Amino acid sequence: MRKNIKTEGQSNRTDSADLGFGRVVSEESHLRLINKDGSFNVNRKGLSFFTSLSIYHSLLTMEWWKFIGLASLGYLVLNIFFALVYLIFEPGAIHGEQAATFFEKFLRAFFFSVQTSSTIGYGHIFPESISANLIVASESFVGLLGFAVVTGLVFARFSRPNAKIMFSENAVIAPYRDITAFEFRIVNARKNQIIELQAQLIFSKMEKDGSRIIRRYYRLDLERDRVPFFPLTWTIVHPIDENSPLKNIVQDELIRSQAEFLILLTGTDDTFNQTVHSRFSYRADEIVFGAKFSNIFEYGEDGHHITVDVGCLSDIEKV
């Protein structure tokens, strides 16, 4: 990490293109770059129709109830489709209960299709004509393949990294040895363990560049940029020393310059040993000056565990 910083040149000022945000120029932007959920506040247009649909990506990232709803809908449509196909070959395609009206025939065909695509096959309804038998052959294949796809998707959803790091609501400018420091606090919001956690902190603000006002990015040095274990909390600290771009800064100036602190965390999820990432950002109005984080540790009542109260993650006290 540190080494990277050095290779970026003597100065740690880097222009906007450096962060993959491109050279966006504006005097009016009050947009935040990273949303509270870690997504980027950007759009890409000009992508082809299929690319922008992005079915696979959506199927993986949508919520479970939507995924299950969509799968049910697919099952319904599949069976209605095949029910209609069976009806085309009536009369005599399907042998089963008496069906007088079209609706009764459709229902019979629909239920037959359900029993076929799900491979139940009770047999009180069964295919009689050759055409019906051929449709059964197709439907059984479609059913099996569809089921293979759903199983594949279910597992693909399961195998996605499951980490969730919770950030304190505010960052603080707190006393730190003889100076001050920019600090925020994080905790693991899941039951899994995260190890070898690394942090990058980038400070971004609008600056005059000749006649234009452009957004500039500064990488902030951390007191410590990685921890081997992360069972409790980690307070990430940027000491505001002589070389810090935050030296002597006040809140008004942060707000005027549309400052934003971008955070990228990288760690290893211990359950799957997968690399996990987490993004977050603090805007100028989310920084509290002259405060520090409160203690959130206590010893378990049984005396056998160190306990952290996640609900107090964002608790700060004035200094």
180 φ/ψ sector (left φ>0, alpha ψ -120 to 50, else beta): beta
Q: Using CB under 8 A, pick the residue from 228, 242, 252, 319 that binds its own copies.
A: 228
How far, CA to CA in Å, does 194 sit from each of 226, 295, 301, 316? 12, 22, 25, 25
Question: According to CB under 8 A, which residues from 117 to 146 bind its own copies?
Answer: 118-127, 130, 133, 136-137, 140-141, 143-145
Closest CA to 121 of 133, 113, 129: 113
What is residue 261's DSSP assignment?
A: E
Please, which residues have CB within 8 angstroms of residue 236's CB and are 6 or more apart in sequence?
Answer: 183, 184, 185, 186, 199, 201, 222, 263
- Interacting residue with its own copies among 77, 149, 250, 255 (CB under 8 A): 149
Using the rule CB under 8 A, is 243 a contact of its own copies?
A: no
Near its own copies in 270-289, by CB under 8 A: 270-277, 279
The distance of closest approach from Cβ of residue 207 to its own copies in the complex, given in angstroms and rounded to an integer, is: 18
Question: Which of residues 46 and 248 has its CB atom nearest to its own copies in the complex?
Answer: 46
User: Does 180 contact its own copies by CB under 8 A?
Assistant: no
Tell me which residues in 48-87 interact with its own copies (CB under 8 A): 51-52, 54, 56-58, 60-61, 68, 71-72, 75, 79
Among 37, 98, 100, 191, binds its own copies (CB under 8 A): 191
**200 binding its own copies? (CB under 8 A):** yes
Stretch that binds its own copies, among 81-89, 174-182, 221-229, 250-258 (CB under 8 A): 221-229
Within 13 A of 183's CA, how many CA atoms are on the CB side? 25
Judged by DSSP in three states, 316 sits in: strand
Query: How far apart are the C-alpha atoms of 30 and 259, rounded to whole Å?
Result: 10
